[in-house]
Amino acid sequence: MSAHPSSSSTIALQHYPNPPRSLSLTSPPSQGPGYTQVQVRQSFGGQQTYAAAGGGQASYNSTTYGAPAHAGSPAPTNYPNTPAPVVGQEDQPKKKIDWPISVRNYVQRSFLPDNMDPSVTRAEMESKLKETISQANDSGVMYTVNWETMPLPQQMIREDRARAKLVSLTKAAPIYPVGLAPSNNSMAKGKKRKSTDDKDLAAEASSPPPWRNGQSQSLMSRTSYASPEKRHPVEEAPILKNVSKSQKDKRQKQGDGGYKSTYQVPTQPMNTGPVVGTCMDLEKRFLRLTSAPVAALVRPEIVLRQTLELLKQKWKKDQNYSYICDQFKSMRQDLTVQGIKNEFTVEVYEIHARIALEKGDLGEYNQCQTQLKALYQLGLKGKTIEFKAYRILYFIHTANRTALNDALADLTPTEKKELPIKHALDVRSALALGNYHRFFRLYNETPNMGAYLVDKFVGRERLAALCNICKAYKPDVPLRFVTEELYFESDAEAAQFILDYNPDLLQERQEKIYFLTGKAGKLFEGHRAEAFSKIDIKGQI
């Protein structure tokens, strides 16, 4: 530490020259004062306690989250917000759908002037149409339902209204937000389907026509869930999927080449809003979702806010990265499935990004920064300047020219004048022009936590600079010159760096050490090329 001022810091900093780097978690000044951890603690019991801090990944294995999403959780019927089961909701990208002619005719028919109902607005009709059609599509009966006889949306809306009135009068059933009701496959009843899964059909023989399931079906669905195989909506998905698959096959046999088939499986029913979580646990293991999220396992924002405070404390205390990272991932997941995109979301991503940076987990950092970029674009406030600067440094590290170009194009003139961004831009320009002298001065002045990023490529830049020096300086240079130019902590460190590559390049005379540049030849070229060739972008810990 001889050459540089050091600082007290909450984070383990070894040789880093600069104080500001210690800000990690504390950077958002609005750290909530009301940190209440206590009550919620109780709910951890049994199920998902983490092994004592410091435990490795293995200690998670005993938690129930390794099991399928529903195991060990209460039956979804206890949660009014359980989302409708969804067909094929695997994480395929959202696909566009080619609507069949019958459906289009149906839509057209709805808007014929003769059929218009003055009491129903256009917007209502559109949303109803969307709901009906996507339901049909999601349950795979779009091609079998007889659209000719399907009631028009205005009729359905009138019926809905009448029923809503009735319901609100009798208060018999809880009102579900439209679209969240468990209204899955009643459409499957549709016309002349000679399906193999009669059992399902039988169970549904009495279910109402599709346009009725908006609100009144809640009771119905509760009763139908009583049969054991119906308990878990997620488990139904495969059955329905098979149906739609067999239909697909049929279509292919009809000789249309099946060219539409790839677009038949939507990932998200348009009528299902985001989940609203009901889980009250503070901690939760991360588990990659492969099906629709379950409200009972998702924490609402108010809980997540407490979680964040808890995690901050834990991070300061234990510095257990694998635990923290896992927790943050599950937090991010909960935010995503609930569609929460606000300044709290930004804060979560920012903190996770900082922690990942500090631990050199660039893969995770990159995920966060990608999201942050999108969140900032939505106009959400955050540490925009700080993270845009990181972003530039990151792309310098990954030598991603195209992304760097895009990042530059993103900046506004005002942003370019902000210190962290200006610094990052200067770093970029110094490196682009090979000005190692300036680069290493800038390295010393890196604001915020950017130095963690610069650390990642300072080694290869040193090699590049050494190549340069070896070519340009003859016959030798004092070792001290190398130390200072390449910003080594000490002569010893500089000497070590050189000796690691070749033990014969240093010479002592008149009590000074010289670096024999003339003798190095192409030695560093090879190492430089190697260092630049392996930039592991994914590089997760």
Partner 1 sequence: MDSIFDKFAEAQLNRNGYRLAKTLSPDLPNEELYSIWNSCNAHDVRAILKRSIQNTATGMDKLPHQEVAGWVEVYYTYWKAVGELLAVQGPSVAYGKQFQPSSWTKVFAAWTDLLSALIRGYLSQGFEAWTIPCLYVAGKHLRVFAIKADDERNKNSSLDITAGGNFQDDFNPEAEQHAKLEDCARQLQKIFNLCLNDRAPLEESRKWGIYYVTNLQFKTYFKFNSAALSKNVLKAISAGRGDMPPLTAFPKSQQVTFKYYEGILCFLEENYVEAENHLTEAWNLCHKDATRNKELILTYLIPCHLLTTHTLPSQKLLEPYPRLQKLFSELARCIKKGELHAFDLALQEGEDEFVRRRIYLTLERGRDIALRNLLRKVFLAGGFEESKEEGGSPVRRTRVPIAEFAAGISLGSQETLDDDEVECLIANMIYKASKLYTARSRAPGSVYAQLVIALQTNGIQESSFQSCLASSILASLWRWRCLGLQGSTWTTRPLGLMKGYIARERGIVVLSKSGAFPGTGI
**Which residues of this chain interact with partner 1, rule CB under 8 A?**
91, 94, 96, 98-99, 108, 111, 255-257, 259-260, 267-268, 272-274, 288-289, 292-293, 332-333, 335-337, 339, 341, 367, 370-371, 374, 377-378, 401-402, 404-406, 408-409, 429, 432-438, 467-469, 471-475, 477-478, 481, 484-485
Cβ nearer to partner 1, comparing 83 with 190: 83
What sign for the dihedral angle of Cα 138, 139, 143, 146? negative
Question: What's the CA gap between 164 and 153, in Å, rounded?
Answer: 16
Instruction: Give the nearest distance from C-beta 293 to partner 1 in angstroms.
Output: 6
Cβ nearer to partner 1, comparing 111 with 344: 111
Instruction: Give the nearest distance from C-beta 76 to partner 1 in angstroms.
Output: 17
Question: What's the CA gap between 262 and 97, in Å, rounded?
Answer: 9
Cβ nearer to partner 1, comparing 150 with 294: 294
What SS3 state is found at 213? coil
Structural element, H or E, at residue 509: strand 506-509
Cβ nearer to partner 1, comparing 190 with 293: 293
Instruction: Give the nearest distance from C-beta 525 to partner 1 in angstroms.
Output: 9
What are the strands of the beta sheet with 512-515, ordered from one edge?
Answer: 477-478, 512-515, 506-509
Cβ nearer to partner 1, comparing 29 with 255: 255
What's the distance, Cα to Cα, between the start and end of the chain in Å?
28
Instruction: Give the nearest distance from C-beta 39 to partner 1 in angstroms.
Output: 29
For 168, residues 6+ apart whose C-beta sits below 8 A from its C-beta are 175
Cβ nearer to partner 1, comparing 222 with 381: 381
Question: What's the CA gap between 405 and 414, in Å, rounded?
Answer: 18
Instruction: Cis check for the bond before 182: say yes or no (omega within 30 of 0).
Output: no
Instruction: Give the nearest distance from C-beta 159 to partner 1 in angstroms.
Output: 25
Q: At what angle are helices 343-358 and 362-377 packed, to 10 degrees?
A: 160
Instruction: Give the nearest distance from C-beta 397 to partner 1 in angstroms.
Output: 16
Instruction: Give the nearest distance from C-beta 468 to partner 1 in angstroms.
Output: 4
Question: What's the CA gap between 199 and 421, in Å, rounded?
Answer: 64
Instruction: Give the nearest distance from C-beta 400 to partner 1 in angstroms.
Output: 10
Cβ nearer to partner 1, comparing 147 with 436: 436
Cβ nearer to partner 1, comparing 225 with 328: 328
Instruction: Give the nearest distance from C-beta 354 to partner 1 in angstroms.
Output: 17
Cβ nearer to partner 1, comparing 123 with 472: 472
Question: In terms of C-beta density within 10 A (0-12 exposed, 13-18 middle, 19 or more buried), how is residue 501 classed?
Answer: middle
Cβ nearer to partner 1, comparing 469 with 494: 469
Instruction: Give the nearest distance from C-beta 256 to partner 1 in angstroms.
Output: 6
Write down the residue that tokens 């998905």 correspond to. 237
The total of other beta-carbon atoms located within 10 Å of residue 525's CB is: 16
Question: What's the CA gap between 302 and 307, in Å, rounded?
Answer: 9
**DSSP annotation string for 93-121:** PP------HHHHHHHHHHT-GGG--TTS-
For 414, residues 6+ apart whose C-beta sits below 8 A from its C-beta are none
Cβ nearer to partner 1, comparing 219 with 408: 408
Instruction: Give the nearest distance from C-beta 375 to partner 1 in angstroms.
Output: 9
Question: What's the CA gap between 403 and 409, in Å, rounded?
Answer: 10
Q: In this structure, are residues 443 and 431 in contact, taking their beta carbons and an 8 Å threshold? A: no
Instruction: Cis check for the bond before 113: say yes or no (omega within 30 of 0).
Output: no
